[in-house]
Amino acid sequence: MSARQRRVDRMLWLLLAVGIVATVVALGSRDFWDPERWRILLDTDLLRLLGEGAIKTIWVGIVSLAISVVLAVALGRWGMSRHRPLRAAVAIYVELFRGLPLLLLIFFLYLGLPRLGLEISTFWALTVGISLFTSANLAEILRGGIDALGRGQREAAESLGMSERDSFFRVLLPQATRMMLPSAIAQLVILVKETSLGFVIGYTELLRNGRSAVEFLGSAYAPAIYVAVALFYLAINVSLTLLARRLARRPRVKPPAAEAELTSGVDSGGVRV
């Protein structure tokens, strides 16, 4: 790092520190740090309400993640098919659900499907909407990971007599997964934050329960309650970010048998004969 870059970094950190101090002073002048306002966080009823919201938030995240991963792997597999209509369908799916605003998608599921005769709960409207959006992004991340491997691995698998399915699941997917893990976990961080969109359709996740508590207790307690909600999201997402960095620094593991066999038979992207 150059001396100029270090000076710029020090200046940015100084400006950040000044901003934080100014914010704390400004909030203090408005009784923001009044202990009476923060003591509400020790109330058992409030903690129970926030805890229930946190559990529902985590549950939506887990179910959405499971559906998204299964869909993304299927899309990655079909996107490599030799059948052009199947590849075109995957491309349309990815571009459609990556291009639509997630909130609009949730509104369509929750408000539009009942007009078509299909009732859906707030939980599934939120979960399916997040799953469609996230699976499209994960599928694109997976495609990039597979493309980064080059054609050598696929050609080598074909030369060994592997089917298209076996080459994908035994050779390409394990290698691409290691390459895409940091990006995939970053997408998971986005998924956790997206669960807060359940607020707008009445799903009682963490943010919705926090808002209900503010309405019941009064706006004077809003700072303490919303800070508690924010700390929950930060704890989850910072943990995921640290996990992504740890995985990015992890040394390469010994390749699986199928990959090792290919590696021994591939030289400069081609198959040795």
pLDDT at 217 over 50: yes
- Average pLDDT value for residue range 128-147: 88
CA atoms within 13 A on the CB side of 103: 6
Give per-residue pLDDT as tens, 151-170. 666 656 666 666 666 667 66
Nearest-5° angle of CA 48, CA 189, CA 106? 75
Amino acid identity of residue 43, one-letter, is: D
The yes-or-no verdict on residue 244 having pLDDT over 50 is yes
Assign residue 77 a region (left: φ > 0; alpha: ψ between -120 and 50; beta: otherwise): alpha
Of the candidates 267, 72, 65, the one whose C-alpha atom is nearest the C-alpha of residue 168 is 72
Q: In the predicted model, what is the mean pLDDT of residues 64-85?
A: 87
Specify the pTM.
0.76
Between 246 and 106, whose confidence is greater? 106
Of 35-44, 138-147, 151-160, which range is least confident?
151-160
Q: Regarding beta strands 266-267 and 270-271, do their DSSP bridges make them parallel or antiparallel, or are they unpaired?
A: antiparallel
Average pLDDT, integer, range 108-125? 91
For the chain, domains (ranges, CATH) are 42-250 (1.10.3720.10)
pLDDT at 256 over 80: no
| Mean of pLDDT over the chain | 79
Which DSSP state fits 221? G
Q: What is the DSSP letter of 100?
A: S
Provide the pLDDT for residue 201: 92
Does residue 64 surpass a pLDDT of 60?
A: yes
* C-alpha span between 253 and 30 (Å, rounded): 55
pLDDT at 124 over 90: yes
Instruction: Tell me the mean pLDDT in the region 175-189.
Output: 77
Instruction: State the CB neighbour count (10 A cutoff) for residue 272.
Output: 10
Backbone angles phi, psi at 266, to 5 degrees: -120, 135
For the ranges 1-5, 83-87, 127-131, 258-262, the one whose mean pLDDT is highest = 127-131
